[in-house]
Structures are given as C-alpha cells and as structure tokens.
Structure 1
Amino acid sequence: MKSLVAMVALSLLAATAHAGNLRIGAGRAVITPAEPMWMAGYASRAEPSSGKLHDLWTKALVFDDGSGVLAAIVTTDLIGISARVAAATAARAESELGIPRERLMITASHTHSGPVARDNLIGMYALDEEQERRIDAFTAALPEHILDALQQAVDTLAPGTLGWGIGHTDFAKNRREYTPNGVINRFNPIGPVDHDVPVLAARNKDGGLVALLFGYACHNTVLSGQELCGDYAGFAQLHLEEAFPGTTALYVEGCGGDQNPLPRRSVALAQLYGDMLGRAVRDVVAGEMTAVDGPITAAYEEIPLPLSPAPSRAELEAQLQDANIYKQRLAKALLKTLDEKGALAETYPYPVQVWRFGSGLQMTALGGEAVADYALRIKTEFPAERQFVIAYANDVCSYIPSLRVLREGGYEGCDSMVYYGFHGPWAAPVETDILACVRHLAGKRAPIDLSNAEATAAHRPLLIAHRGGAVGESTPACSEAAIAAAAIAGYDLVELDLRESKDGEPIVFHDKALAPAVDAVGSVADHTALELAALRFAGTSEPILHFEQAAARCKQEGLGIMLDIKAGQSDDFFRRVIGVLERFELKPASCCINGAPEIREHLAGHVMLTHRDGEAEGGRTFWFGQASQLTADHAKALQAEGILVIPAINTFRYDSATHAEDARNDAERLLDAGVDGFQIDSVYGDYFAQQK
C-alpha cells in the first residue's frame, strides 16, 4: 500500500510527465451513399432512400499522449457497426497507422435514417439483388472511409489540451411502458433515464476549439422518412460546427437502448432536439471544465456472453411455417448454420472497452444497444463525475438488456433478437458478466470477501481506516472525501460509525453530539435524515452521509466496511442497514465490531461478527481488540482455528507523548506474528504504507 501523500506525489509526477505532451488531431470523411439505398432501422420501409437532408459522416479524434502509441475514437452516422467491419477497420488501423485494437474505439450514432450496412439487422429487410449489391459495396468501402478520417486526424496532430464536463437535456424518454399484458413500446414516466450530456473538448495550444466529443443516451429515431440524415445527432453536430467554426463535432450514442426522443416524427422536432443537445454542449464549454490529461490506459476484451438454450432442429423446422416472416427468415438461417456447423452458438463474443485518462476521466464503451441501466450502474459503481459511458461501440450485435429488462421481456428484452439473427434472448448472467468485465478492464479491485481465507491471506495485512477513511484537514472523519482518500491511499476497508436518525435512518457519524464536528445543536437522533443531509462538516463542503451514500462510495472504490453500530437501534434501522449492504453487494466484504447481543442477533448471517469464546458461530469470525493486549501466541492460536485476527492501533489507546513509538512497536511485533490486518488511524498510514 502507498500512503496518501505518496500516492498524490506519484500522481503529480505522472501528470507532470504527460502535461504538455498531449497532441490532438481530428478528421472526417463523407459516407453519404452516391445512389439510392435501402435505409436501416425500420422493417416497414418499402423503398430505397430518396435524397438527403444533410450528409452522413465518419469522423475521428486521435490522441498522442506521449507514450509512443496513438489512440483514436471513430464516430459514424450509421445504425451500427458490425463485428466484421470493426475487425477489418481495426486491422488496417494497426498495420497502417500503428493504432492497436485496444486503443481504437469505433462507434455508431444509431441513426435510423442512414443506409443498411452488413451485417447489422440484415434479417429485417426484404432486399432485391441490386440492393444487396449496393449494400455489399457500401459496406466494403466503410473501412477505407474510416481510414481516411483517421489519416486526416493523424496528419493534423498538434499540441493541445482536453477539458471534461457533463451537461443535461431531457428529450429522451423511457419507452418501456408496463401494462397488464406486458411491456409495450410507449412512454414510461417512471422508467429509468440518463439525461447526462458528457462532453470532451479538445483545444489547441492557443485555446481554440479543435473538436467536441459529446454523447446522449437516446435512440436516434425522430425521423422515419426516406431522406438520408443523421437525425437529431446529425443536427446537433451541425449546430456545434456552426457555433464553433473550424471545430469537428463528434457524436457518440450512450446507453439509450430503451430510450426514445418523444414526441417525434418531424424534421422540425429532429432539429429542435439537435439544438437542445447542442445548447447543452455549449453550456458545458462555456463553463469551467475539468482538465484531462494522459497517460491514456486502454483495454479491450471480447467476452463469451451466454445465450439462452438453442432450439432443436424440429423446433426450427416448425418455425418455417410461422406466420411471422421474420421468424421464418431466422429459422431458415439457423437451419443453414446447423447444417454447416452441427450446432448453434451458445455464446457470442461481446466487446467491452475501457479507457482511462490519467487518474481522471474513464471512458467505457459497450457493444450493442445497451439499455440505460448499464450507464446508471457504472455511474454508481465508479465516481459518476468522471464517467463517459458509450454504447453502440465496436459491434452493434443486438439489444443488451439488463437483468431487470431481460426478466420483464418485451422488445429490448427478447422480441428484437429475431431481427439480429439470434435464436433467443440472452441468458441471465448478461448484466453480471458485462459489468464484471468493465471492472476488470478498469483495473478496479472488488471489495475483499472476508469469508474467503485465500482472499484475505493474499491481501495481508488488511488495512482498515478508522473513523471512516483517511482523515485530514479537508477530509473530515466519516465523510465521503475521507472514504475516497482511503481508497487512494490503498486501504482495504473503512470503519463506518452508524447512528440512527430521528426517522430511523442509518447515518454515518462518530460522536453522539453533532458539535463541534458540525455547526449544529443536538445529536443525530434529534434530526431527520433530510435535516442531517443539509448539514456540512465544519470548514468544508462535505455533507453528513446516509449509510447508503457511504456504501455506494465504498462499492465504487472497491472498499469493504467495518461497522461500528452505536447502541439503542430499532428493528427498522437494522433492516435498512442490511438492505443497503445487499443492494451494493457488500455483505461478504463487511464485518461488525460490536459485541452487544441485540446487534449480533440482527446482523448474524449478514456480515462477519467478532469471535466470542464458547459461542457457536455460523461462519468465519474475527478477533478485534487493542493491539497492545494481543500476544503473538494468542494471535497464532486464533488463526489456527480459522479466525481472522485484526488488532486496532489507534492514538487514543496510547499515551499521547509516546504513541508513535508504542504503536510502531506493537505493529512490528504483530506483523512478525503474521496477523491478518490492522484497524489504524490515519497518522500511522506512512508506516503501514511500507508493509503492504
């Protein structure tokens, strides 16, 4: 483990090494078809395109972070990019420009007013031979167009800076309405939405805008006519390029699989939503943006995403007679696959990509039509203010439902799979597998499972931050800033003191009296959770935390929780505590130091409890107590019984004049004894930094 000071110093050194080294370039190429083509997205269309409202583009933003390897984001005004097109493009980008696969992100705006391209939604359309030929030719030319845009961006690389911010606009509406007969495609006012407008602004060394990369989580489906168009996203790009002459505006689609622009179906509305989105971006640019620097850390993986069990040959043959023409087409294609390969696929190679810019911005790119739950979940598990979540990237293979949407069914959960050529819906682990890959690629360590002896041994000595985190002048005890600082400093768990508010809510606060930590009278028990949320720790902007807020931050940072629950709590209080731990999947990574029978009774089976001699325990327990009172022989005897040994080294346990020396002596003695970890005050962090 590195101490907070050491980690900050290393971060500053890394930033210095890359500050001023960033070079940025942008390029573009027209991809508007030269002849009428079948348009993508709607099965109801009966004829090819007839003209255009504006051109369609592929654009590229290239970064040189001084590492010697370029990174590039590609955008396209298309309904999707297939795995085949992405692979062909990536191969050429690496061989011709030296951009490795993990540092090339290829995205689609998902406009439903663009041409059909292989192999996206190809089962939706009834195409004649001429349209098949035009689609094949258009698809074959796409890598060349993308390479043209990339080459322009490389040729224009010049020193520059990046700024990051998040805006807001609200024309996206959840489209999964609940009815007695199931989910239908109609406005759902209570469904989840993501109205963030992430913006990455690239400027030259003189401060002039070079490019604006921005996104929004909403289907690009205002229009359904026969004129080629980028839909609202195309109009938003035009809006920004008119507002900032010489700037390249690049749009990426967020997790909008279950979001529609409502109302819709007119050019005027498409222009209106484009202007709304453009203004949201301009508001961000006009405000104070957060500086973003290198190095760029990139990771890419294709995971075997499991599908539901495949139908039998007999079931497929029966589907050839189905009244639904799309099911007939799919059955015919699947029978051909069965004849050629002997079996249908059980999994699909699903792409996940994560970029991190220095220690700040994280950019996550998911394949397919991911629903809003994914972005909301990522912004819960990682600091929301640093997340740029993109979908429709690297392979638009199908809708990607969350487990909730999968269980609810409907178009996004099941019915759309026929158009994408899959035999059935995804299997239940879809969300779990994707998010596990995101965490892995982001280098995020999951909270340690305290019941797993191998896991705790691998991280020995476990370090637990006393008083809610790494405490300092700007990081008061039990604050979110202290939790974040503990994660940076490399702690494994934080101790959270919980008290019950007047209305029965679990609040993170150490002392019985609010003052002097907070400029307020009374105690936590004298105020409601809402009243407490309005209070700030003295001299800071840090609010008093509800346990749910603290647990969410711990989950984001990969920290476990040591609970210190103050006496006199209600049954509802404990139900809420347990509910929070369940919601953030933190029960295996949590323990409780309290020995009171009523507390142990409520928490038994939910978190790890302290060891009690002569008590029958239902699982692994831990010893917790003052380090000075623990002998090496006792520690080894406890460990021989499978008991986790966690002594506490706190300033209040020692004489103030000799605490540093006494604490060090205890730590050295018990480290030699091989104890499993320590709960420590932040003042001892530098010493323990050398032991991790």
Structure 2
Amino acid sequence: MYSRPLVRFACLTMLCLFAASTADAAQLYVGATSTDITPRLPVSLTGQMRTRIAKTVESPVTANVLVLESRDGDKSLEHVVFVSCDLVCIRGGIHEKVREKLKDQLPGLSLQKVIMNATHTHTAPTMIEGRYTLPKTGVTQPAEFVEFAAQKIADAIQKAWNERQPGQVGWGLGHAVIAQNRRALYEGGWAKMYGSTSAKDFRGIEGYEDHTMEVLCFWNDKDELIATAVNIACPAQAVEGRSTVNADFWHPVREALKKKYGDQLTVLGWAGAAGDQVPRPMYRKAAEARMMQLRNLTLLEELSRRIVAGWEEAYAGAVQEKHADALLKHEVRTIELPLQTVSEADHERITKEIKAYADDPSKVWIKNWKQRVLDRYDEQQAGTSRPYSMELHTLRLGDIAIATNDFELFTDFGTQMKSRSPALQTFVIQLCGPGSYVPNERAVRGGSYSAIIESNLVGPAGGQVLTEETLKSINAQFKK
C-alpha cells in the first residue's frame, strides 16, 4: 500500500507533466506582409507647424504587418496583429477605420487585438482635417488619405492572416547610437528643445539616452527569415523639415536588410519611449558631418548603417535560439490617466498669445494647438473634464514582454518599464495612438516645447500611472 502523501505527490507530478506537455504542444504561427500607403500627389505633410505640400516621393511610406498566433493542434490559443506605419501618429480615426473594414472578414480575429503604431516620420501625409490651411482641390485631403490608407492596411492584414504558417521566433539585443536627448539644459535650470550647446550658459544635456536595440526575428517552416521587429528608443525624424514624402531612416534600413535576407522579409519599425530624443547630433556636429562626408554617406545612410549593424549583433544571438512553441499571452485593457492641470497663469498667457494668430492663415496649426489648452481649461473649470482613456496592450512572447502606449513618452518612463519588468527583454512601443508628449518632472521644471502645457495632455503624474499599470500587467503575465 502506498501512503497518501506519495499518492498525492505522484498525482501532482503527473499533472505537472501533463501541463508541460500541453504547453509544449502550442505551435507558433506567423504571417507577414508589407503594403505601400503613399497616396496620390500632391499631398499635405504633417509634423511641422507650417503647411507643406509634397509633389514628389523620396521614399514610399508603408504599413508593415505581422500576425502571430499560438495553436494547440487546430485550436487557436491566442493571437495578435501588429501594424507598423510610416506615419507621424495613429490619428484621424485610421485605427477605427481599419478595424471597421476588418469586421466579419476574418473569422477568429479579435479586432481588439489589432495594434497599430507610427514610426513618427514627419514627412508623411496629414491625417486630420483643418490642421493646416489647404487648397480645396488639387491636393489629397487628410480624410481621403485616411480612407485610402485604412483600406490598404485592412487588405494587408487579411493577406498576412490568411497566409500565416508554422514558424519560429528568436529574440536578441543589439546596440546602435541613433538617439540623442534633444533638450539642452542651461544655467538656472531652464531647458530648450534643440537649444544651442555652444552657448556660454549651456550646462549639459537634460536626460538619459537609450542606445539598446530590442529585436525579434521570425522564421517560417522552411527556415526563411520572413519578419523582424526592431525596437529603437528614437523617432524617425532625421529629415523632418523636407517637403517630400519620405519614410525617413526606416526605408534604407528595410532596403539593406532585404538585400541581404531576401524580399520576403517584412521589417517593422517600433519607436521606443523617446519623447525627448532625436536622431541628429546635438553637439560635435561638425565632426559628425565630416565623418559622414569622408564615408560618402548621407545622414539617412549613416543612421541605417548603424541600425543594421546593431540588428546584426542582435540577430547573431536570436538565430541561435529559435522557438516554435514560445508562450503567447496578450492582454488588452483600457486604463485612465490623469490630465495635466491647466494653471491660471498658463490660461492667461495663452489667451494673450492666441490673439496674434487669429487672422493669419499660415498660423492655423499654432492657433489650434493653443486653443485646445483653453478648451481644456473651460472643461476643467466646469468640472466636465475626464481622464485620458488609453487602450493598453501588453504581451508575453516566451521570455520577452511587449507594451504599448499612445504617446511621445519620455525615455525615463521606458527605462523604468524595462528595468522593473520581470522579462528578459521588454519592448516598449510608443505612438500607438494620437500622440502628445508625456514629460518627466525634470523636463517640466525646465520648460520649453515638449514639456509645456500646450504639448502635454498627460503630464508626469499620468506617465507614472501608465508605467505602474504597464508593469502590473506584465508582472501578471510572468507569474509562474
């Protein structure tokens, strides 16, 4: 006769073995594709305070789709759809339109699990009507572009979904000096975005820079590399002031990787927490320019060279550990973030400033930007303002975690998430919504664009709530 403890131990062991075998039975399925969302020209460009009309295309803007699904035999366990877009933000209702067009089209697809992010190129089409003063005819209007791009993206998602196949995933870490903190700090504690670093009262760069590169790689059952996601804490705005359509540094990166690994490769650009970063030098500018000239490279080519080198560094690790059965978990929930309070002083200042723009059509962007603060103040005074409602996605894929946010999130918040996360690597994807900066306390004290009330719908307190809610969700997914 066996003792009861031995029987219980044996039963527990069998249950553990059964659970392990069930987990091992899960198979990762992968689908990936890319689509060109460059509209008919001429088209208005967004990302600056002035009107720009593009009549030429230097590089196409694209949407790059990755579908992941975990299956146990014929049973679907979990799935997610990532769409990385060469846009400034996900705004103008494009996310809602994509989901609407997919409704009832793909059995088994949860529309809530479609994630869209922007690379933040400032040379992509405008998506909001009335943002700039535009001709009524002869130019692709913002609403036209949103409709056109939403249909192209929905079609690409259907293609990637229908072509998903057994695959493998690997993850790696690389390094590339792409981002520099763009806020210069001066004597007295004040700061300025893109401020002069050669001024007599310049005292340093305000914040941290994250030069790591989180990389995911996906192979099909033929062991062909079919997709990669590249997470860099930097927006794609190296050529932001031009008046031509341009996907910024992601285009030469995609071209370089495809040239080596094949045209079947889909490259997703994920901008990490980088509201205070820029891919251009803040100091040593002459030395940087000289080296690019000696190497016969443009700025985009130089950035691409660094990113590809960092990606190869990460790939060298990822390719050694491929996982066909990586655990996939995906949580979607709505969180509420406190709004930044509009002070009496800010209200008084902006009320005076906005009068200067009232009758100047070229200043419509600035006028609307400031008017939104006054509207917020009125709601605040009336007691009708509501917290910012954000759709938060967190995922576990094997040993790694992925988290999204709507904003241009200052790097300190991303550093917190990565450092406090239980995952081996944590990918933070910003600009999965309409944007607006979320600064840290240090930046608010320094002031200037990106850390003033006009720039901040959500402030440092909201950024910390976002951080805590993100980590709470990730921690739950990594509980044993």
* TM-score, scaled relative to structure 2: 0.80
Which runs of structure 2 are paired with 1:395-544 in the superposition (5 Å)? 395-414=433-452, 417=455, 425-444=457-476
Partner of 1:82: 91
Letter in 1 for 2:114: L
Task: For 2:397, give the aligned amino acid.
Answer: F
Q: Which runs of 5 or more residues in structure 1 are unaligned?
A: 418-423, 446-486, 490-692
Q: What letter matches 1:75 in structure 2? A: S
CA contact (8 A) 2:401 2:423 kept: no
Q: 1:280 aligned to 297, 310, 320, which one?
A: 310
What pairs up with 1:183-202 in 2 under 5 angstroms? 183-186=191-194, 189=205, 191-202=207-218
Q: Which residue of 1 aligns with 2:6?
A: none
Greater relative CO, 1 or 2 (CA 8 Å, sep 6+): 2
C-alpha contact 1:253 1:390 (8 A) present in aligned 2? yes
- Are the equivalent residues in 1 in contact too, given 2:213–2:231 (CA < 8 A)? yes
Residue 154 (structure 1) aligns with: 161
Q: Indicate conservation of the 8 Å contact 1:253/1:391, yes or no.
A: yes
Equivalent in the alignment of 1:232? 249
Choose from 69, 73, 95 the match for 2:104: 95
Give the 3-state SS of the residue equivalent to 1:413 in structure 2: coil
Matched, 1:27 2:33: yes
The whole-number CA distance in structure 1 between the counterparts of 2:410 and 2:145 is: 29
Which residue identity is paired with 1:367?
A: D
Take 1:387 and 1:367, find their aligned partners in 2: how far apart are those partners? Answer: 17
CA distance in 2 between partners of 1:253 and 1:95 (Å): 31
From the superposition, tell whether residues 253 and 335 of structure 1 become closer, same or farther in structure 2 (CA, over 3 Å). Answer: closer
Match for residue 223 of structure 2 among 207, 228, 234: 207
* Identical amino acids, percent of aligned pairs: 22
How much does 1:30 deviate? 0.8
**Letter paired with 1:247:** L
Residue 117 of structure 2 corresponds to which residue in structure 1?
Answer: 107
- Rg larger for: 1
Q: Is the 8 A contact 1:375 1:389 kept in 2?
A: yes
Give the match for residue 321 of structure 1. Answer: 355
Change (3 A) 1:102 1:5: farther
> 1:337/1:170 Cα in 2 relative to 1: closer, same or farther (>3 Å)?
closer
Asked if the contact 1:110/1:392 (under 8 Å) is kept, the reply is: yes
The 5 A counterparts of 1:255-294 are 255-263=273-281, 268-289=298-319, 290-292=321-323, 293-294=325-326
Letter paired with 1:352:
L
Query: Aligned residue pairs: how many?
Result: 432
Provide the C-alpha distance between the structure 2 equivalents of 1:11 and 1:217, rounded to a whole number of angstroms. 38
Hey, what does 2:391 align to over in structure 1?
351
> Helix, strand or coil for the counterpart of 2:229?
strand
CA deviation digits over 1:419-474, x for unaligned, max 9?
xxxxx6534421221012212322439xxxxxxxxxxxxxxxxxxxxxxxxxxxxx
Select between 315-324 and 59-68 the one with higher mean Cα deviation: 315-324
The offset of 1:198, in angstroms, is 1.2
Q: CA offset at residue 74 of structure 1? A: 0.4
Query: Structure 2 vs 1, CA of residues 252 and 88 (structure 1 numbering), >3 Å: closer, same or farther?
Result: same
Runs (5+) with no aligned partner, structure 2: 1-8, 198-203
User: Deviations 1:47-98 (Å, cap 9, x if unpaired)?
Assistant: 4013112211111111121125532110111111127222232344453224
> Please, what is the CA RMSD of the aligned residues?
3.4
The equivalent position to 1:309 in structure 2, one of 341, 345, 358, is: 341
CA contact (8 A) 1:305 1:348 kept: yes
Given the alignment, which residue of 64, 68, 72 partners 1:63? 68
The amino acid that maps onto 1:257 is G
Question: 1:171–1:344: structure 2 CA closer, same or farther, 3 Å change rule?
Answer: same
Q: 110, 116, 122: which one pairs with 2:126?
A: 116
* Bigger strand fraction: 2
Q: Is the 8 A contact 1:402 1:430 kept in 2?
A: no
Asked whether the 8 Å contact 1:257–1:399 carries over to 2, the reply is: yes
Q: 1:416 to 1:273 in 2, by over 3 A?
A: farther
Partner Cα distance (2:353, 2:260) in 1 = 54
**What letter is aligned with 1:35?**
L
The TM-score with structure 1 as length reference comes to: 0.57
Q: What SS does the corresponding residue of 1:433 show, helix, strand or coil? A: helix
Is 1:304–1:347's contact at 8 Å kept on the other side of the alignment?
yes
2:174 is aligned, of 167, 173, 186, to: 167
1:403 and 1:440 map into 2 onto residues whose CA distance is 22
Structure-1 separation of matches of 2:420 and 2:366: 39
Q: Distance in 2 between matches of 1:344 and 1:38?
A: 34
Change (3 A) 1:133 1:10: same
Change beyond 3 A, Cα 1:190–1:398:
closer
With over 3 angstroms needed to count, the CA separation of the structure-2 counterparts of 1:238 and 1:373, relative to structure 1, is same
* Contact preservation (8 Å) 1:51, 1:228: yes
